[in-house]
């Protein structure tokens, strides 16, 4: 097919195309489909560095391949349908359990705030972004973790 005498494909009709050209035209659709899917679900970012560009393209192709592999598994389609129900019920259960998630969010919110001076050692200039969980004053690591030393003494 690739070497030797050029063989004209009889199916090409009056165009009289070589067999290799008609073979390519029959099989090139896969590349077009992959390029379209990579463009639709792209991870690429604007960059001037060619290794990053190649890495982003590699991620796109890996994503298309993993989607294709999961589509081959017929049981996987049922799992995907059940996955949304599973995620939804788990989220509802977690939200109904209580406040631990809210406490973590509050701690993350505190960490993102601007640092201020510790109220218990303001003259030394120790700055911290941690606050006492009870009285909400800024405290450094030396004066407590979640509650200040004053609140610890006052609690029974």
For the stretch 33-73, pLDDT in tens is 888 888 888 888 899 999 999 999 999 999 888 888 777 77
Rounded Cα distance, 133 and 131, in Å: 6
| Mean pLDDT within 120-147 | 75
CA pair distance 146, 135, nearest whole angstrom: 10
The 10 Å Cβ neighbour count of residue 26 is 9
pLDDT band per the 50, 70, 90 thresholds, residue 109: low
What is the rounded distance in angstroms from the CA atom of residue 58 to the CA atom of residue 99?
42
Q: Distance between CA atoms of 69 and 31, rounded to whole angstroms?
A: 16
pLDDT band at residue 3 using 50, 70 and 90 as cut-offs: low
Mean pLDDT of all residues in 128-146:
76
Q: Where are the domains of the chain?
A: 115-154
Angle between helices 50-72 and 74-97 (to 10 degrees): 110
Q: Which residues contact 37 (CB under 8 A, 6 or more apart)?
A: 64, 67
- Bridge partners of 131, per DSSP, are 138
What is the percentage of the chain residues whose pLDDT exceeds 90? 10
Separation of CA 99 from chain center: 26
């Amino acid at each position: 097919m690739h070497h030797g005498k050029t063989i004209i494909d009889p199916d090409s009709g009056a165009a009289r195309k070589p067999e290799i050209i008609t073979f390519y035209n029959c099989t090139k659709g896969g590349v077009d489909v992959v390029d379209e899917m990579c463009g639709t679900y792209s991870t690429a970012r604007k960059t001037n560095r060619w290794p990053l560009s190649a890495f982003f393209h590699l991620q796109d192709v890996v994503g298309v391949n993993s989607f294709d592999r999961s589509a081959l598994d017929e049981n996987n389609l049922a799992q995907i349908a059940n996955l949304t129900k599973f995620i939804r019920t788990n989220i509802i259960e977690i939200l109904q359990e209580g406040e631990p998630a809210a406490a973590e969010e509050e701690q993350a919110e505190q960490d993102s705030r601007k640092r201020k001076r510790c109220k218990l050692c303001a003259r030394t200039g120790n700055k911290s972004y941690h606050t006492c969980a009870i009285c909400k004053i800024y405290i450094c690591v030396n004066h407590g973790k979640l509650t200040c030393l004053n609140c610890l003494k006052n609690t029974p």
